[in-house]
Structure 1
Amino acid sequence: MSSTFPNRVTEMLGVEIPIVQAPMGWIARAQLASAVSNAGGMGIIETSSGELDAVRIEIEKMADLTDKPFGVNIAQAFVRDPDIVRFVIDQGVEFVTTSAGNPTKYTSTLKEAGLTVFHVVPTLHGALKAFEAGVDGLVVEGGEGGGFKNPRDVALMVLLPLIASKVDVPIIAAGGMVDGRSMAAALALGAEGVQMGTRMVSAAESPVHENWKTSIVEAAETDTVFLNRHTSPALRALRTERSEALELDTETNAMTALVGSTLDLYFGGDMNASLALTGQVAGRIESVESVADIIATCARECRARLDELAGTYGGA
């Protein structure tokens, strides 16, 4: 395997380009993940939906769709099966991300089984705890990203260099990652790879309804809302009539909006049936593109931007 980004992330993950696809529930399945892996990045299969029988089938599909590496995510707050670690190990994957929970819970068992483990962290405290637990790397997630968040959100521009200055493990930057310019910025701040969520939700191979993709393309940078500051987890979602009604609500747990009706939005296209978990970077997405084009363009533009900066400032 050769890489135009030779670093610890590409070496550990066995990928050509250090772009990881976020593990969105029901979305991060074989259709999308295989496209990411085939394009040189790291596709991830989710388990947060709790539908492990379906997830097992999706992982089996991956063998027919790609011969490239892929991983699995364990979102601890949504684990329903106490044997989730054995489930993941039995799938034969070599890379796992853990999130939404204590990094000491699964890290040692996964590493003893030979897996590479990255833990998702939204704070320096969480990063230090994961480092002490022995993780191989971190996914550092800024509050501008979509999905489940820390109620005390910190922007990636602050969080990433802070954590990079305190721990010496490979870092994948998440939140606001969409193109070569943002990827180059993440590398400059101390990351060795990036994770894309909203950009992958809007991709051609994403299984979500076209209404959601269209809403992302049409969104302004101000068209997301941050919900549940009064409880946990907090959420960042696309601004809709449903989500806007919860934006300043300090009593209702916005998680209730996800119960029972999520799939009506995801795959039925009813944008007010639930919450469309989406990051602020929707304001920078202007079209639906294939995963292959997204990753290739991002890598090419990142290299060009880094070369341009080196040419401008290298002799200073």
Structure 2
Amino acid sequence: MRTRITELLGIDIPVVQAPMGYIARAQLASAVSNAGAMGIVETSSGQLDDIKVDVAKMRDLTDRPWGVNIAQLLVPDATVIDFVIEHEVGFVTTSAGDPNRFTAMLKDAGVTVFHVVPTLRGALKAVDAGVDGLIVEGVEGGGFKNPHGSSTMVLTPLVVAAVDVPVIAAGGICDGVSMAAALALGADGVQMGTRMLSSAESPVHDNWKQAVVDAAETDTVLLNRFGRPGMRALRTELTAEMEHHDQVQMPGLDRLMDQYFGGQMDVAVPFGGQVMGRIDEVRPVADILREAWDHCQARLRQLGQAAAG
């Protein structure tokens, strides 16, 4: 089975790995690409010197397609475009900013560009800017969010009906049945974040991965409901208290590092989506992706046979 995403990006499995700050580096991204999907190296951490090292590593770790995310709000310097072009990156996702800012420069350099959107209005603006495709992000997903956004179930078919470019659905997707649901809604592929965060190749501390495995579907909070940026995170003592604040700020880098790689879960904001309630095991990336794609195709065949029967 092929989709517009597999054809356009040259991948076997229509899954794009989410560009999670400090997490989506060469270790995880190369595992995703080697498994037949699209690995993404992040820039949202702002640690461009470290990211340059990881981009160089990608050349040694995989010969499959991979890409880079440009989080415009967090990496406002346009020199990042020169960096992408210099390293011959063929696929870029842009997010957290105006799609008109970088799209033309990237496309003039032969780069395929997808923009992340949380609303129909944002999708139409991105298409007008000339993007090659969209990542349509439901509010149930983890990380930075439009606090007034809608769910993947609502947003995906809304956008698909209004645009002609390929659409990747993001938010609430971790396995074959959720992939099949996204394709049934009209998406050409999906993005996985929380499922990749809790994979064996994810660099975060085992305490975070186990917290995802142990969590229920109700164990997230949406922070900054009335401010920006909105953030969906795992419920901890800290984030449960933050939930009642009109405006919260991200903790400093030292505390982030203590949480991400030191396992201290209550010192910063551990991003994660509601789909963590459906994740019950830490598994290798290749197993997650192959099983998800096999089960997705099987479910779609079952539905087709039932409809024909």
Instruction: Classify the TM-score, shorter chain.
Output: over 0.9
Match of 1:15 among 11, 18, 21: 11
Say whether 1:93 aligns with 2:125: no
Indicate the percent of aligned positions where both proteins have the same amino acid.
Answer: 60
Report how many aligned residue pairs link the two structures: 309
Match of 2:140 among 134, 138, 144: 144
Match of 2:264 among 260, 263, 270: 270
Separation in structure 2 between the aligned mates of residue 131 and residue 258 of structure 1, nearest angstrom: 36
Separation in structure 1 between the aligned mates of residue 127 and residue 232 of structure 2, nearest angstrom: 26
Task: Give the AA of the match of 1:266.
Answer: Y
Say whether 1:31 aligns with 2:27: yes
Match of 1:286 among 276, 280, 294: 280
Partner-residue secondary structure (3-state), 1:103: coil
Cα 1:148/1:159, change in 2 over 3 Å: same
Cα 1:14/1:258, change in 2 over 3 Å: farther
Partner-residue secondary structure (3-state), 2:275: helix
CA RMSD of aligned residues (A): 1.0
1:260 shift after superposition = 4.3
Partner-residue secondary structure (3-state), 2:210: helix
Contact 1:258 1:275 in 2 (8 A): no
TM (normalized to structure 2)? 0.98
1:200-215 correspondence to structure 2 within 5 Å: 200-215=196-211
Match of 1:110 among 106, 111, 120: 106
Match of 2:298 among 294, 304, 312: 304
Separation in structure 2 between the aligned mates of residue 13 and residue 94 of structure 1, nearest angstrom: 9
User: Hey, what does 1:127 align to over in structure 2?
Assistant: 123
User: Hey, what does 1:240 align to over in structure 2?
Assistant: 236
Q: Which sections of structure 2, spanning at least 5 residues, go unmatched?
A: none
1:257 shift after superposition = 3.1
Say whether 1:314 aligns with 2:308: yes
Task: Give the AA of the match of 1:293.
Answer: D
Match of 1:62 among 51, 58, 61: 58
User: Hey, what does 1:217 align to over in structure 2?
Assistant: 213
Separation in structure 2 between the aligned mates of residue 94 and residue 314 of structure 1, nearest angstrom: 41
Separation in structure 2 between the aligned mates of residue 153 and residue 266 of structure 1, nearest angstrom: 27
Separation in structure 2 between the aligned mates of residue 297 and residue 108 of structure 1, nearest angstrom: 37
1:45 shift after superposition = 0.3
